[in-house]
C-alpha cells in the first residue's frame, strides 16, 4: 500500500482530521483489520460522521491527488465485519450522491465497480444475506452502472445477474429493496447478451408481476420497472416471449387503464413507458400481428385522439402514432404494375446497352413481394419531420455525401489523351461555322448582318383566332363519329399585321428581354426615372400605370369572352382527333381549343347560362370565345404559334390536347409568395386521418375516378366527384381514387421504360365545389424527405382566374406535409432493398370558383413546345448586330429535334482584324433540362437566352466577348412525356456522359462530341454549365470540380497539402454570390463524388479539360438568405438568375483578362449600368404595385 498522500489544494489543512483517520485505517488494512474489528468500526464510523456533517470532508477525500478512495475500497475488500462493510458502503453512497459526475469517474478509475459486484456475489452466498447490505450495494451499483461502459459484461462474468434476479423474486413486496434492484437490472439489460440471458431466467414474466393497473402508490417503482421491461423487449427473443405469454394485450389493457384514470396527467412518464414497451414488441412481425389482433389500432387511435388537445401529451401522441404506423397493414399500391402506363419500343441494341432498363418476366407481380412482411423493416428512427430541423436533414445529406467522396487520385486527374480520333469528330465542324466564317462569300457584309443565320426556318406568328366553344349538345355528339358541319368550322384566320394598335395603358408592363433585376438593392422612384432616361424604351407600354389587376381585367374584357358563363377547360391539338372529356373516344371534329359545356348539364358554366341566339347564328351549337392576345402580356408567348408547334411534337401516348396554362401562358404574379409556415401537428393529424381508414373502413369510398391503365376510362360526372386529366404534354397523373367525399389518392406514373422516379406531377382538375375543402394525397413518392416539409407549396393555375385577368401559376395549398405511408414498395421498385415503403405528399385545397378548371404542378411547367415557341420568338428579337444560328443537333429516340443555339455578336466589319477577333472569342457552353422534372432549369435558361438576345449595352458587350453554344433542352422526350428524370431509354441521361450510346442517348452523345471536337481543335470552352433544379435544398448554388478540395474532404490532409491547383474554378460562383440575391456560396461544393463521376460536370472537367465546369442548381422551394429570404422562388426570380449568370460572365472576363477589358471601356460601364440602373426597371414597377 502506498503511503497516504496529503492534499495540496489551497484551503485544505495538512493536519485534517479525516486524513488522520484514513491514515489509521490504512495502517490497519490486512491482518489487523480481521483482529481489531472494533477499532476499524470506530474509525469508519467517525469518517462517515465527518462526511455527513462537513462538506469540506467530502472535498478532502475526493480532491486531486488524494488516495482516500483507494484506502476505502481496499478496506471494503478486506473487511469481513458486517458493520464495517455497512459503514464503508454508507461512506461511498454519501460521496457519490452529491456532485456525482467527476466523483463517479474517480470511483470507476479505482476499480470500484468490480469490487462492488464481487461483494454482491459474496454477500449472496451467506446463509442469511443482510438486506441492508444488499440495499446499499444495489443503490451504489445503480449510481455507477450507467457510467461504466463495461458494466454489463463485468456483471455477467462475475455472476451478479442471477443474484439480483433472485433477490427480486424473493422481495416483490419489499418495495424499498425492489427499487434499487430494478435500477440495477435496467442497466444490466442494456447489454443485449444480458437481456437474452435475463429473459431465459423469466425476468420478462417477473416484470409483469410488478407492472399493474393504475395506482397512486409506488409510481417511481413502476416507472423503473417499465424502463427495465422496455430494455428487455429490445431483444427479439424477449419480444417473442412476451407475445407468446399474451403480454401485448396486457400492456394495452394497462395503458388504457392509466389513460382513463390519470385525468390530471401527472404520470405521463408511466404512460410513455408502457408505450415504449409496445413499440419494442412490434419490431417483430409476431408483435405487430398480436397488436392488431388485440385491437391495438383502435385503442391507441382513440386514446391519442383524446390526447391531441393537450400539448403536454405530445410525447404520448407521437409514440402512439409511430406504433400505429408500423402496425398498419402494408397495402398494395393500387396499380397492376409499377412499370409506366406507357411503353416505348427501343431500337435493337446489345443486351448490355440498357443496363438500368426495367424488364420483368411476364406473370411476375412487381408491385408487392415477400419483403413486405420482412422483420427487418425500417427502424423506428425514420424521419419524423414533425419536429425535425431542416438543418439536421442537410447534415444527414452532407454525411452521406462525405461517404461518397472519390479518393482515387487517378480518377480525379484529367485524362491526357483524347478518347476519339479527330476524323470521327470532323463531322461536327458544321456546327461551328462561326469559327471559319469570313462573311464575304456569296453576300456582302451588310447583307449578312441583316439576313438570317439560322439553319432552320421557323413558323411565323399568326393572328389571334376565335375559339369555337361547344355547347352541351356538341359535347354529347362528340361521343359519336359525327362529321363536322360547315357551320362548326372556325372562321378563317387573318394575317397579323406587323404593327398593332395597342391601348395606351396595358395591364402589365412589357419587359424588354434583358431588363432583368441583377443587383440586390432596391431602386427608388428617382432612380427608376433616371434609368428610364438612360435607356429610353421606345414602347410607351413599359410605363406601369394603374393597378395591375384592374388593367389586366380591362384589357381582357376587350378580347375575352363574347359569351358569359363558359370557361376554357383545355386546348385540343390541332390536326388530331380530339378526346372526349367523357369517355376518351376520338371523333373527327374540327380543330378546337377548349371543351366547354353548359351549367346544369354536367358542364362548367354558371347556373343562369341560357342559349344565345346570336351565338347560334354565328356558330351553330357552339359558343365563340376569343382568346386574349397573350403576346401583349408576354413578349415571347403566342398561343396560336404554340398550337402550331405542338403539331410537330411527338409523344409516346400521342397526346391530342394542349393544357390551358401552356396555351395561354403565365404572367408572373406581382405579389410575394412567402414560404409556408408549417402548422404544428399537421403531419400527425394527416397520419391519424390515414389510420382512420383502418378504424372506420365503412367510411371509405375507394372509387377509381381516373385511370390511365384502362383505355377509354369513363369520366364520372355525378356532380360530386372531381374530374381529372393528365393527357397533355408534360402531364403526369396515372390514377385518381376517391377515398372520401372530398379526399383523393393520386398515383403518379413512373418514367417510361422505368419502374420508379415518381416526383413530377402535372394534371387537371375540374368539377369542384366552392368553399369545400379537398385533400389530395400523392401516395407513391420515393424520396425520404422533401421541401414540402419546409414551406414549399404546390402550384395551381385557375382557368377562371385567367379569364378574369390573372393568367398565372400561384403557390397554393395548406396543411402540406410529406411522410412515409403504408403502401409497400417492392424490392424490384426499391432497387433490391426490402421492406421499403412509399411516401405521401399531401395538401388541402379550397377552390374559389364553382366548376372551375384548375391545373396542379410540382413546379412551373415548361414544355418542349414552349421551348420551340420561345426560340421562334427570340428569332424575331434579332438585330443586325446579333449573330444567331439555330441548328438541329440530332433527333431523339421519340423523333423530336434537339436544338443547338449559337449566339454571339457580328464582327464590326469584314476586315481581317475584326474577323479574327470574331473567331477567337472564348466559348461558353450551356445546357439545361437533362432531368425533365427540373423545370426551373428551363426558366433559368429562358432568362439567359432573353438577356443574350437583348439590345442593351450589357448584352452587346457579352456577345462581343464570347461565343455561346447552348443546348437548351437535353431531354426533350422526357419533358414531353411527363417523365421526372429519365429519357425514353429508361435511364438518367446525366449518368451517361462517360460512355453515351449514339442509339440510346443521342443528345448526350452528340453534345459530348461537340465538346470533344472543341478540345481536339484546342478551343475547349472557358465555362461549361449545366442548369439543374434541386428538390431538397434552398437557394441557387453550384457544384464544381476540384482535386484539392476532394482530397481534403476525404480526410487525407497530408495528400491535399502536396497538391497544386488553379483556384479559378471558384471565381464564377464567388462573383454570383456577390451580385445575385438567390445565390448561396455556402451551399456550393467542389467535391467530386463517386456517384457523380459519369455526370456532365465531372466528365467535361476530366475528359475535356474545362476548369470551370459546373452544375448550377436552382431550388424548387425558395431562399433562406438575402433579399429573397423567406420567399418561394418564382419564374421571375429564376429568369433573373439566368440573366445574372450572364453578367457574372462579364465580370469573369474582366478578372481573367483585365488588360483586354481595359481597352473596352464600355464593358466596365455595362456592368456598372446593369448593377445600378437599367436592370431595375422591370422589377421596380412591380415592387411599387406590391406596396
**Dihedral sign, Cα of residue 470, residue 474, residue 476, residue 482:** negative
For the question of residue 1113 being annotated catalytic, the response is: yes
Residue 282: is it exposed, middle or buried by C-beta count within 10 angstroms (0-12/13-18/19+)? buried
Asked if 646 contacts 865 with a C-beta cutoff of 8 angstroms, the reply is yes
The CA distance from 777 to 760, in Å, is 14
Q: Measured between alpha carbons, how far is residue 971 from residues 2, 293, 378, 629, 981 in Å?
A: 81, 51, 35, 30, 9
Query: 65: alpha, beta or left, given left = phi > 0 and alpha = psi -120 to 50?
Result: left
SS3 38: helix
What are residue 338's phi and psi, to 5 degrees?
A: -80, -10
The CA distance from 779 to 593, in Å, is 32
Q: Measured between alpha carbons, how far is residue 20 from residues 41, 60, 398 in Å?
A: 15, 12, 59
Q: Which DSSP symbol is given to 593?
A: B
Residue 169: is it exposed, middle or buried by C-beta count within 10 angstroms (0-12/13-18/19+)? middle
Q: Measured between alpha carbons, how far is residue 501 from residues 465, 497, 505, 1080 in Å?
A: 17, 10, 12, 45
Pairing, β 723-725 against β 657-658: unpaired
Q: Measured between alpha carbons, how far is residue 496 from residues 463, 568, 944 in Å?
A: 4, 24, 28
The CA distance from 491 to 466, in Å, is 7
The CA distance from 261 to 257, in Å, is 6
**Opening angle at CA 963, ends 960 and 965, nearest 5:** 150
SS3 295: coil
The CA distance from 32 to 75, in Å, is 11
The CA distance from 1136 to 363, in Å, is 52
Angle between helices 296-307 and 285-293 (to 10 degrees): 70
Catalytic residue among 406, 782, 1089, 1113: 1113
C-alpha cell at 300: 391507441
Q: Measured between alpha carbons, how far is residue 638 from residues 347, 651, 665, 1080 in Å?
A: 36, 22, 8, 35
C-alpha cell at 633: 402580356
The CA distance from 484 to 21, in Å, is 116
SS3 764: strand
SS3 887: strand
The CA distance from 352 to 349, in Å, is 8
Q: Which DSSP symbol is given to 281?
A: H
Q: What are the DSSP E strand ranges found in 297-424?
A: none
Q: Which DSSP symbol is given to 1093?
A: T
What are residue 943's phi and psi, to 5 degrees?
A: -65, -40
The terminus-to-terminus CA distance of the chain in angstroms comes to 85
Residue 516 makes CB contacts below 8 A (sequence gap 6+) with: 943, 946, 947, 1135, 1136, 1138, 1139, 1140, 1175, 1178, 1179
Q: Measured between alpha carbons, how far is residue 161 from residues 139, 166, 1029 in Å?
A: 15, 9, 58
- Among the listed residues 296, 297, 373, the one whose alpha carbon sits nearest the alpha carbon of residue 330: 373
How many C-beta neighbours within 10 Å does residue 410 have?
6
How many C-beta neighbours within 10 Å does residue 891 have?
15
Indicate which residues carry an active-site annotation: 1113
Amino acid at each position: 500500500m502506498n503511503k497516504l498522500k496529503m492534499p495540496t489544494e489551497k484551503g485544505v489543512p495538512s493536519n485534517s482530521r479525516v486524513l488522520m483517520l484514513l491514515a489509521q485505517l490504512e495502517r490497519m488494512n490486512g491482518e489487523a483489520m480481521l483482529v481489531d474489528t472494533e477499532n476499524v468500526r470506530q474509525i469508519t464510523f467517525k469518517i462517515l460522521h465527518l462526511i455527513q456533517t462537513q462538506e469540506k470532508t467530502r472535498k478532502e477525500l475526493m480532491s486531486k491527488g488524494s488516495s482516500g478512495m483507494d484506502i476505502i475500497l481496499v478496506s471494503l475488500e478486506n473487511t469481513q465485519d458486517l458493520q464495517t462493510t455497512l459503514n464503508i458502503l454508507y461512506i461511498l453512497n454519501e460521496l457519490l450522491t452529491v456532485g456525482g459526475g467527476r466523483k463517479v469517474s474517480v470511483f470507476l478509475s479505482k476499480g470500484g465497480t468490480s469490487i462492488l459486484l464481487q461483494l454482491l456475489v459474496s454477500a449472496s452466498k451467506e446463509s442469511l444475506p443482510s438486506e441492508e447490505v444488499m440495499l446499499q450495494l444495489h443503490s451504489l451499483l445503480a449510481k455507477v452502472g450507467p457510467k461504466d461502459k463495461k458494466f454489463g459484461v463485468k456483471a455477467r462474468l462475475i455472476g451478479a445477474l442471477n443474484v439480483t434476479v433472485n433477490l427480486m423474486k424473493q422481495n416483490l413486496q419489499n418495495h424499498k429493496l425492489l427499487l434499487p434492484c430494478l435500477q440495477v437490472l435496467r442497466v444490466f439489460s442494456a447489454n443485449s447478451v444480458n437481456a437474452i440471458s435475463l429473459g431465459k431466467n423469466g425476468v420478462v414474466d417477473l416484470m409483469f408481476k410488478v407492472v399493474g393497473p393504475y395506482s397512486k402508490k409506488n409510481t417511481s417503482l413502476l416507472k423503473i420497472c417499465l424502463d427495465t421491461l422496455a430494455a428487455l423487449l429490445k431483444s427479439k427473443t424477449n419480444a417473442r416471449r412476451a407475445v407468446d405469454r399474451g403480454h401485448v394485450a396486457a400492456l394495452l389493457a394497462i395503458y388504457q387503464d392509466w389513460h382513463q384514470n390519470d385525468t390530471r396527467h401527472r404520470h405521463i412518464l408511466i404512460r410513455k413507458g408502457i408505450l415504449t414497451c409496445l413499440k419494442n414488441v412490434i419490431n417483430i412481425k409476431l408483435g405487430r400481428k398480436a397488436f392488431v389482433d388485440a385491437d391495438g389500432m383502435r385503442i391507441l387511435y382513440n386514446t391519442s385522439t383524446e390526447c391531441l388537445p393537450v400539448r403536454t401529451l405530445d410525447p404520448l401522441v407521437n409514440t402512439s402514432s409511430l406504433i400505429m404506423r408500423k402496425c398498419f397493414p402494408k397495402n398494395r399500391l393500387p396499380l397492376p404494375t409499377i412499370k409506366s402506363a406507357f411503353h416505348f419500343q427501343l431500337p435493337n441494341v446489345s443486351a448490355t446497352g440498357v443496363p438500368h432498363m426495367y424488364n420483368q418476366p411476364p406473370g411476375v407481380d412487381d408491385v408487392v413481394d415477400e419483403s413486405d412482411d420482412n422483420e427487418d423493416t425500417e427502424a423506428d428512427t425514420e424521419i419524423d419531420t414533425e419536429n425535425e430541423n431542416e438543418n439536421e436533414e442537410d447534415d444527414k445529406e452532407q454525411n452521406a455525401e462525405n461517404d461518397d467522396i472519390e479518393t482515387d487520385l487517378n480518377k480525379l486527374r484529367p485524362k491526357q489523351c483524347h478518347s476519339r480520333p479527330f476524323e470521327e469528330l470532323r463531322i461536327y465542324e458544321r456546327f461551328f461555322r462561326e469559327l471559319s466564317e469570313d462573311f464575304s462569300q456569296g453576300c456582302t457584309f451588310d447583307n449578312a448582318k441583316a439576313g438570317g443565320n439560322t439553319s432552320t426556318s421557323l413558323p411565323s406568328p399568326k393572328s389571334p383566332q376565335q375559339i369555337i366553344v361547344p355547347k352541351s349538345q356538341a359535347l354529347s355528339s362528340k361521343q359519336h363519329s359525327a362529321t363536322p358541319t360547315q357551320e362548326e368550322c372556325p372562321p378563317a384566320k387573318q394575317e397579323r399585321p406587323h404593327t398593332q394598335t395597342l391601348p395606351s395603358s396595358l395591364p402589365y408592363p412589357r419587359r424588354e428581354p434583358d431588363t432583368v433585376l441583377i443587383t440586390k438593392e432596391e431602386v427608388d422612384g428617382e432612380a427608376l426615372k433616371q434609368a428610364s432616361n438612360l435607356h429610353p424604351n421606345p414602347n410607351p407600354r413599359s410605363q406601369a400605370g394603374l393597378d395591375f389587376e384592374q388593367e389586366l381585367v380591362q384589357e381582357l374584357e376587350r378580347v375575352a369572352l363574347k359569351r358569359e358563363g363558359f370557361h376554357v377547360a383545355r386546348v385540343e391539338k390541332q390536326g388530331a382527333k380530339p378526346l372526349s372529356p367523357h369517355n376518351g373516344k376520338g371523333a373527327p371534329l374540327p380543330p378546337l381549343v377548349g371543351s366547354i359545356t353548359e351549367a346544369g348539364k354536367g358542364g362548367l358554366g354558371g347556373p343562369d347560362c341560357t342559349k344565345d341566339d346570336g351565338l347560334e347564328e354565328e356558330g351553330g351549337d357552339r359558343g365563340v370565345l376569343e382568346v386574349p392576345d397573350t403576346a401583349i402580356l408576354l413578349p415571347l408567348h403566342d398561343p396560336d404559334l404554340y398550337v402550331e408547334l405542338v403539331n410537330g411534337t411527338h409523344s409516346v401516348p400521342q397526346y391530342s390536347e394542349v393544357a390551358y396554362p401552356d396555351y395561354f401562358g403565365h404572367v408572373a404574379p406581382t405579389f410575394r409568395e412567402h414560404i409556408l409556415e408549417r402548422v404544428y401537428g399537421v403531419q400527425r393529424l394527416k397520419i391519424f386521418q390515414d389510420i382512420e381508414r383502418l378504424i372506420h373502413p365503412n367510411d371509405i369510398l375507394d372509387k377509381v375516378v381516373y385511370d390511365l391503365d384502362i383505355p377509354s376510362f369513363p369520366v364520372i360526372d355525378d356532380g360530386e366527384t372531381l374530374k381529372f386529366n393528365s393527357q397533355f404534354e408534360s402531364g403526369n397523373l396515372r390514377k385518381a381514387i376517391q377515398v372520401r367525399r372530398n379526399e383523393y389518392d393520386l398515383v403518379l406514373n413512373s418514367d417510361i421504360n422505368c419502374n420508379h422516379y415518381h416526383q413530377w406531377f402535372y394534371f387537371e382538375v375540374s368539377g369542384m365545389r366552392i368553399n369545400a375543402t379537398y385533400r389530395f394525397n400523392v401516395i407513391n413518392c420515393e424520396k425520404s424527405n422533401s421541401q414540402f416539409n419546409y414551406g414549399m407549396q404546390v402550384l395551381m393555375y385557375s382557368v377562371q382566374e385567367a379569364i378574369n385577368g390573372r393568367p398565372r401559376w400561384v403557390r397554393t395549398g395548406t396543411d402540406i406535409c410529406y411522410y412515409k405511408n403504408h403502401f409497400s414498395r417492392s424490392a424490384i421498385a426499391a432497387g433490391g432493398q426490402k421492406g421499403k415503403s412509399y411516401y405521401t405528399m399531401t395538401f388541402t385545397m379550397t377552390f374559389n370558383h364553382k366548376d372551375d378548371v384548375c391545373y396542379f404542378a410540382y413546379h412551373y411547367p415548361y414544355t418542349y413546345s414552349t421551348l420551340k415557341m420561345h426560340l421562334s420568338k427570340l428569332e424575331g428579337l434579332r438585330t443586325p448586330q446579333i449573330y444567331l444560328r439555330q441548328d438541329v443537333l440530332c433527333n431523339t429516340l421519340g423523333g423530336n429535334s434537339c436544338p443547338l443555339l449559337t449566339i454571339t455578336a457580328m464582327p464590326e466589319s469584314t476586315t481581317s482584324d475584326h474577323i479574327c477577333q470574331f473567331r477567337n472569342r472564348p466559348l461558353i457552353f450551356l445546357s439545361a433540362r437533362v432531368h425533365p422534372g427540373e423545370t426551373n432549369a428551363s426558366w433559368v435558361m429562358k432568362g439567359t437566352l432573353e438577356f443574350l438576345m437583348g439590345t442593351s449595352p450589357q448584352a452587346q458587350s457579352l456577345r462581343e466577348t464570347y461565343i455561346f453554344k447552348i443546348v437548351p433542352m437535353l431531354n426533350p422526350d422526357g419533358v414531353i412525356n411527363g417523365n421526372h428524370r429519365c429519357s425514353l431509354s429508361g435511364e438518367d441521361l446525366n449518368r451517361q456522359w462517360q460512355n453515351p450510346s449514339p442509339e440510346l442517348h443521342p443528345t448526350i452523345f452528340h453534345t459530348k462530341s461537340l465538346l470533344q471536337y472543341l478540345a481536339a481543335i484546342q478551343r475547349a470552352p472557358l465555362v461549361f454549365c449545366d442548369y439543374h433544379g434541386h428538390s431538397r435544398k434552398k437557394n441557387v448554388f453550384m457544384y464544381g470540380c476540384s482535386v484539392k478540395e476532394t482530397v481534403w474532404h476525404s480526410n487525407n490532409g497530408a495528400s491535399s497539402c502536396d497538391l497544386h491547383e488553379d483556384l479559378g474554378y471558384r471565381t464564377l460562383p464567388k462573383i454570383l454570390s456577390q451580385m445575385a440575391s438567390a445565390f448561396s456560396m455556402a451551399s456550393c461544393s467542389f467535391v467530386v463524388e463517386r456517384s457523380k463521376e459519369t455526370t456532365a460536370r465531372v466528365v467535361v472537367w476530366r475528359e475535356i479539360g474545362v476548369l470551370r465546369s459546373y452544375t448550377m442548381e436552382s431550388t424548387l422551394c425558395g431562399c433562406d438568405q438575402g433579399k429573397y429570404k423567406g420567399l418561394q422562388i418564382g419564374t421571375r426570380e429564376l429568369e433573373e438568375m439566368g440573366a445574372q449568370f450572364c453578367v457574372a460572365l462579364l465580370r469573369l472576363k474582366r478578372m481573367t483578362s483585365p488588360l483586354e477589358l481595359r481597352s473596352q471601356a464600355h464593358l466596365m460601364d455595362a456592368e456598372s449600368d446593369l448593377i445600378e440602373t437599367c436592370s431595375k426597371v422591370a422589377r421596380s414597377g412591380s415592387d411599387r404595385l406590391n406596396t
